[in-house]
Amino acid sequence: MQSLTFTKDDGTEVDDKTEYTFTTTINCDPEAKTVTGLSIDTTNLFNPHITFTHESGCPEYSVTAWISFIKEHPWVLGVITIIFGVVVTFFGQIVFKHALAIAAGGIAFMLLMLLFSLFGMLDALEGNASGGKIALCVVGFILGLAGGIGCGMLFFKLEKLGASILAGAFGFFVGSTLYNLALFWAYNVYVFFIWSILIAVLFAFLAWRYFDKILIFGTALLGGYALVRGISMFAGHYPNEVEIISQLANGIKPHLDGYFYIYLGGIIVAFVLGVVV
């Protein structure tokens, strides 16, 4: 068993109040049953980097193709989200059924893309693909569009039910934002999920019970969030919801910088303006 002792530049040991992290990189080798190539980089004493090779570094499934594509081309999703946010924030009551269908269809499309990426259908997005992979990628996009359009049409016809489902999904993200703002001191994945699910259920109930009355406020809040989230895809520094869940699952306290509160203020301003308009 090996241990690392952290010291300051003056040679004294770090006290218990000093925060530090470490990074681990596990290289993939399906034949490596034991750890090989172990190295520890202590250039930054407060964030040592441990690297080794093992079979556990080989993923059983991967969605990196679609995630990487979105990260490398943030403007694609950013532009769509900003346009959707502006329309829903200021004209949500007028175009609600259409906005609901677009939102549901967009979410369904994104989920299908993640699913297809999981099974390797979108590997062509990573470049240097053969003709077969390109064809498979095209099929994936066609199926994703078909699924998104079908889901959008269903939500368009079942307006009230669709609004409740979408409100519940949006409530989950609102719950996660409130958790990061007020309950971050707990940083427990179970508390996070219980809290977020309760907020999601509350939003879904309110959308079903007070559909007509909550329409203006709901569309303004949804649109404001989409507008600011779209802007963040260009400006950066918005805490990724998926990464936060991953950090909580691993017992890591999420780090929120000042930009998070600026974005939160932007959502509130957009919401108020949307309600007024």
CB atoms within 10 A of CB 229: 21
pLDDT attached to residue 273: 93
- Could you tell me if 191 and 76 lie in one domain? yes
Domains in the chain, number: 2
Considering the domain architecture, whether residues 201 and 228 belong to the same structural domain is answered as yes
Residues 141, 243 within the same domain:
yes
**Does 188 share its domain with 272?**
yes
Residue after which a domain boundary falls, among 27, 58, 89: 58
| Domain final residue, candidates 19, 38, 58 | 58
Shared-domain flag, residues 49 and 78: no
52 and 90 in a single domain? The answer is no
Is the domain of 204 the same as that of 105? Answer: yes
Q: What is the per-residue pLDDT for 219?
A: 81
Q: What is the pTM of this model?
A: 0.56
pLDDT band at 156, cuts 50/70/90? confident
Residue range 39-59, pLDDT digits in tens: 888 777 677 878 888 877 665
Domain range for 38 is: 1-58
How much is the mean pLDDT over the chain? 78
What is the share, in percent, of the chain residues with pLDDT greater than 90? 10
- Of the three residues 10, 27, 58, the one that is the final residue of a domain is 58
